[in-house]
């Protein structure tokens, strides 16, 4: 998959296809006609990522009621996703982006620093795509507390 530019608010998001935790390919185009929340998280079963996934899980019916699907994406493999989804009873799909192609498309694969060490990693971020595949909102460098509620409010307000 060749990626030219990063996504931009007000522009069509290029289609992408990634394997789910069940190993089934899932494409963004499969969700046309629905709003889609695509959230990127660094690692399955870590404290902040588990909290974020559970917050999305706990608000899942509200998202569905507002006509929105939820997709989680991280570099973890399908087996890790499956274990994580089963353990946390996640009702939405988790996709594997092992090559970071979709992460790069959304501009969330970045140079990070921890304890003076630099490394490439995923920056927790969430994106709202409308029914026509256009990016309408983005939340970058997310803090987990209260975040899912902000996303839900944006979905409900139509923004």
State the catalytic residues: 49
Q: Which residue has the tokens 């030219």?
A: 4
List the one residue out of 56, 27, 46 whose CA is nearest residue 121. 46
Strand runs (DSSP E) across 28-116, as ranges?
35-40, 68-74, 93-96, 109-114
Distance CA 98, CA 75 (A): 4
Q: How far apart are CA 73 and CA 6, in angstroms?
A: 16
């Amino acid at each position: 998959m060749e990626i030219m530019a990063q996504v931009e608010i007000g522009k069509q998001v290029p289609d992408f296809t990634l394997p789910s935790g069940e190993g089934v390919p899932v494409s963004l185009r499969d969700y046309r006609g629905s709003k889609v929340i695509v959230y990127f998280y660094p690692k399955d079963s870590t404290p902040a990522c588990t909290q974020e996934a559970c917050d999305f899980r706990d608000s899942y019916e509200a998202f569905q009621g507002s006509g929105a699907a939820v997709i989680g994406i991280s570099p973890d493999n399908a087996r890790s996703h499956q274990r994580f989804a089963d353990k946390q009873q996640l009702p939405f799909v988790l996709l594997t982006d092992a090559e970071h192609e979709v992460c790069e498309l959304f501009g969330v694969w970045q140079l990070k620093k921890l304890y003076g060490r630099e490394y490439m990693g995923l920056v927790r971020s969430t994106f709202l795509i409308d029914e026509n595949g256009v990016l309408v909102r983005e939340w970058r460098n997310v803090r987990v507390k209260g975040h899912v509620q902000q996303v839900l409010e944006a979905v409900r307000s139509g923004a």
